[in-house]
Structure formats: C-alpha cells, structure tokens
Structure 1
Amino acid sequence: MQIFIMVLGALVLGGDQLLKYWITQNLAMGQARTMLPGLLSLTRINNSGAAWSSFEGQTWFFYIVTIVALAVILPLLVRAFRRHDSLVYFSGLVLILAGTLGNFIDRARQGFVVDMFQLDFINFPIFNVADMALTVGVILIFIYVLFLDRDEDTTSKGSQR
C-alpha cells in the first residue's frame, strides 16, 4: 500500500506540473475561464509570494523553507516507510513532499509559482495542485497526531508490559 501512495504522490507532482504547463500555454496572464459558475474558475497568475501575496518577491525565503521542509520530511518519510507506520501519517508526508516539490520546481525554474484555481464564492487566494497537496497532507498529519497516534501509543505500551 505504501508503494501505491508513493506512486499517487508522484502522480500529484506530475499532474501539478502538467496543469501548470497547460495553464501557461492556454491562458494569458490574469485571464479567467469559468469552470463551475459561481464556484470555480481557472485564472492564471504568477505568484512570487505565498498566500495573500505574503513574502512577495522573497524567493530566497522560499528556498530556505523548502530546504528545511525537505530536511524534516525525507527522514520522517523513510522512517515511516521502514516501520510501516499509519497510512494516514505516511500519506500526509507523501502529499506534503509532493506539494513542496511542485512549488519548488516552479520557483527554481521561473522565480514564481503558477496558480490557477480561483474560488468564485469567497475571497480566497488563487492556488494550485501543489498547494492542495500541502493542505491535505497537513490535515492528514493533524488527524494522525490528534486522533490516531494516541491509539497506537496505547496499543504499543500495552504490548510492552
């Protein structure tokens, strides 16, 4: 199952890059295409910052954050793979890795991230597949830490007695 999740992470990363390429080839800067009226549009922007334009133009900051994130995620991922840890935890790490790499590739190649998903029903930053992977990955890690990790700690402590 872990191999399947790693393949899924690679597909998320590949899909992120392919969609960004398609967007840059088919939409002019700032151009929008309605996908679901009143809900979702594809709008091309080049984002040199983070959400709500925070840290705009601070590419060096994102390089540092990426290096730190990879230094934390990769050993955790290897350890989780070897120990056959919870699939929720493992999936969260894989998605965080895919999202981190997806946005890093953009910043390294172009100096900015291509964003495209615009929620039309709320004032929310335009985002991309890598951002979604990061968000879902963090949510899965929170679920694991808040609800599942305790169960595993209790089970392992009981078996050590």
Structure 2
Amino acid sequence: IKVYKTIILPVVLYGCETWSLTQREEHRLQVFENRVLRRLEIAVIIFISEEFRSLKIIRPTRVYASARLTRLPFADRLVGHVARMDGTRGVHRVLVGKPEGKRPLGRPRRRWEDNLRRDLWEIGVEGDWILLAQDRVRWRALVNSMMNLRVP
C-alpha cells in the first residue's frame, strides 16, 4: 500500500487539478486502480460460505475520488479570485468571454464552468456563480461545502 500511495498515485494524479472528469474517465480510473491493486496483490478473498467466495480489493484511496478532491480546492478558490477581478483583466475575459466563430460538430465538451455549476447544484445552490463569488466569506463556505461533498 505504501508503494501505491507514494509512487503510483502521484504519477497518475499529476495535474489533476485542471481535469474535467467525465463519468467515463472516472470509470477508467477506477478500472486502472483495481488492476494496479490486483497486481500489487492488495486483494483479499473473502469466504462467505464453502461454495461462495468474493474477491475484495482493499482500497486505501480511490483514484477518481482523489482527482476530484484535489481539483476542487484549487479550482474553486481560483475561480472566486478570477470572478472578483476587474473586467479588463485577461484572465477574467477568458473565463467569462464568449468565443466567436463556428464551433465543432457534436455535443459541446464539458467546461470548467459546467463542472462548477454542477458542484454548486449538488450542494443546493443555484444562481450566477460570479455574483456568488463576490462575497468572499460566503464563497469560502460554499467551497468548503463542495469539498465536504467529495469526501469518500
């Protein structure tokens, strides 16, 4: 377990604070984690009865949950700072701006803002996140609520 936590997990989660995880990617991370734990033989066979047995993988951490936990504190605090910036700043214009031109065919990709709105919706907060972020104390409380929502 120590090798898994100190070597494998940091390599897999490198840069995860910028990820936008889809359900498919979360599933792929879970499959990867199961495979690694089996290879490291951190699996236990549980005998429920003589004829029935079950393979239980000991989960020190869940990779996909760790990625969400790492992303939330950094990204949500950062978006609060950007929302409070002056409208002429480049970072603020990129975050709230609408690009011109044609978009590619198909369903639009999930954006950082979409993840933020979903996280706010999951804790029961609706409304414009830019207006919510103007109040630092309330925004900090919302970020803490979103972080507590992700604790496995």
Common fold: TM-score over 0.5: no
Greater fraction strand: 1
For normalisation by structure 2, the TM-score amounts to 0.26
For normalisation by structure 1, the TM-score amounts to 0.25
Greater fraction helix: 1
